[in-house]
Structure 1
Amino acid sequence: MLINQGELANLTAEFWWGHAAISHVLSKFEAETGTRPKFPCIFGQNAVKRGNLRFLLIPYKFETSQYDLNVLASGLRTYIAHTDIRSIDLNHHCPLLVLFEPITTLTATDHFKRVFIEAMQFLLDEDHGTWPAHVSKDPAHHTWTMCFDGCELFVNVSHPGHVLRKSRNLGPGLAFVINPRKIFDIAAPADRKGRAITATIRRNIDIYDDVAHSPLLGSYLLGEAQWPQYMIPDNNEEAPIECPLHFK
């Protein structure tokens, strides 16, 4: 189910869990003077203030013990269709938060890794668009980024297995923060101003989290790999997960 930030009242009975999940995400951006710093991403803060977030809720199908990834594909396709990549701007951009229904039997980091990889592979298998010619299909290549329906994307993965890295924990279930990759070229370009913005956000992360920002974080414009940045470990010693994605 795809809804706007201010449409919680429109949730149907099937998505009863969505109210608590969305409310928890929004609570991360509430200022509590004297008790905790603000959420580190200044662009995320601004999106919440403007009511620009969009939420895609992914239900769990108990009869098959799987998430309904058809909802992910159709919802992402709709989101991309309503996003004008050519005229995208920071003030009106709507980040997409994909929230998976919390399940008591899925609580370990390995569970979330499995669902994340299954979800990415499902999107590749169900992609009806043309893969951008300038983007490699090799996730190890510096030009690779996740693409769907012809749109280059960046996928930020959050899950409750992150204890030290609180900025990557948005509640009791798995969550993807998906943006067109182009928005990062606009928000933090490869120039002096862009480097200053990036440095500010990483200093904010160092204050907000109980561990320094991940050394895996990088810039696409500088040729730094995207895949390792999607689902980063909770500490800075563990290696990133290897990419098992494949194309038909």
Structure 2
Amino acid sequence: MAHLNTKVWLDEHLAELPYWQQDAFRQFTSMIADPEGKYPCIPGRQGFLSNHLRFGFVADPRSEESAIEVAQLLRQYGECSRDTGKYASLVLFFETPEDLAEGFSIEEYENLFWSILGRVSAVDTVPWPNEISTDPSHPSWEFCFDGHPYFAFCATPAHELRRSRHTPYFFIAFQPRWVFENINDSTAFGRNMKKQIRKKLADYDSVPAHPSLQWYGQEDSLEWKQYFLRDDESAPSKCPYTYMKNKFKAIGIKFHS
């Protein structure tokens, strides 16, 4: 069974883990806690330094085991996220063999990401919160699991120009919706945070911010469009989550929501 880990625990026990897990955490640490503070996600960096983040290691994302482990970790996280700190996030590193790291395109990783969300939803038995639409084209839609809504963030080895979305291991972070209660477009603090992040992002990436990138609370903001950003400015015309939902139904699997 997959288990949650804190930064403090990993700092003390990292050498006990398989090499790929050690490497994934070390490289993440180097990226998010760089001495010059260049990493654009200010809340993510603060959460890491303050031990607010929780970490999990997951099998090859192409495997059936991976979706089971993500579901296990999300269930554990949903029970404790509000006790971890105001900059909470669940960070998942996936085992990424060489053929996956070097052989997959951004579009293939995108399909893999949505496939994982679909497979995880297929084992979710808890109804979505009433205030969250089950239609991805509605502004209130967010990925939910075990009754908790999340913003999902995916990074891959294939991203090059959009450095903020590049990691040597396939990576998904889940941010609880409650984190954005004060960090959104309706608060002065949230708007100021947005300006700081956008400035850092412009310096960090080799391309302008993706046109799909919005800020929580902005009018007509669609969450799903921001989960996976491609290196260029293109984006799917329809939410792949809906496609996965229909695909699962077609083969007789009850798809949550």
Structure 1 length as normaliser, TM-score?
A: 0.86
CA distance in 1, matches of 2:33, 2:84: 26
Q: What is aligned with 2:211?
A: 215
What's the CA shift string for 1:6-48, capped at 9, x where partnerless?
2235469774311100110010034355xxx610111112112
Residues in 1 aligned to 2:114 and 2:204: alpha-carbon distance in whole angstroms:
28
Q: In 2, Cα distance between the equivalents of 1:80 and 1:65? A: 24
C-alpha contact 1:231 1:240 (8 A) present in aligned 2:
no
Structure 2 counterparts to residues 129-208 of structure 1, below 5 A: 129-170=126-167, 172-208=168-204
Among 13, 20, 23, the residue aligned to 2:23: 20
SS of the equivalent of 1:199 reads helix
In 2, are the aligned partners of 1:154 and 1:178 still within 8 Å (CA)? yes
Asked if the contact 2:124/2:146 (under 8 Å) is kept, the reply is: yes
Is residue 2:75 matched to residue 1:77?
yes
1:116 aligns with 2:110: no
Q: Could you tell me how far apart the structure 2 residues matched to 1:31 and 1:13 are?
A: 24
Q: Structure 2: 5+ residue runs without aligned partners?
A: 246-254
Is the alpha carbon distance of 1:122 and 1:66 closer, same or farther for their aligned partners in structure 2, counting shifts above 3 Å? Answer: closer
Q: Distance in 1 between matches of 2:237 and 2:170?
A: 16
TM-score (structure 2 length as normaliser): 0.83
CA distance in 1, matches of 2:17, 2:237: 33
Q: Indicate conservation of the 8 Å contact 1:233/1:240, yes or no.
A: no
For 1:29, the aligned partner's letter is I
Q: Note closer, same or farther for the CA distance 1:14–1:69 as it changes in structure 2 (3 Å cut).
A: farther
More helix as a share of residues? 2
Letter in structure 2 aligned against 1:76: L
| Mapped contact 1:142–1:220 kept (Cα < 8 A) | no
1:125 aligns with 2:122: yes
Structure 1 position 56 matched with structure 2 position 56: yes
Structure 1 residue 159 displacement after superposition: 0.6
Q: Does 1:232 align with 2:232?
A: no
Which residue type is aligned with residue 28 of structure 2? Answer: V
Question: In structure 2, what is the Cα distance between the partners aligned to 1:217 and 1:52?
Answer: 24
Structure 2: distance between partners of 1:143 and 1:65: 31
Q: Distance between the aligned counterparts of 1:143 and 1:163, measured in 2?
A: 31
The answer to whether the 8 A contact 1:158-1:231 is kept is yes
Distance 1:245 1:137, change over 3 A: farther
> Does 1:6 pair with 2:8?
yes
The SS at the match of 2:99 is coil
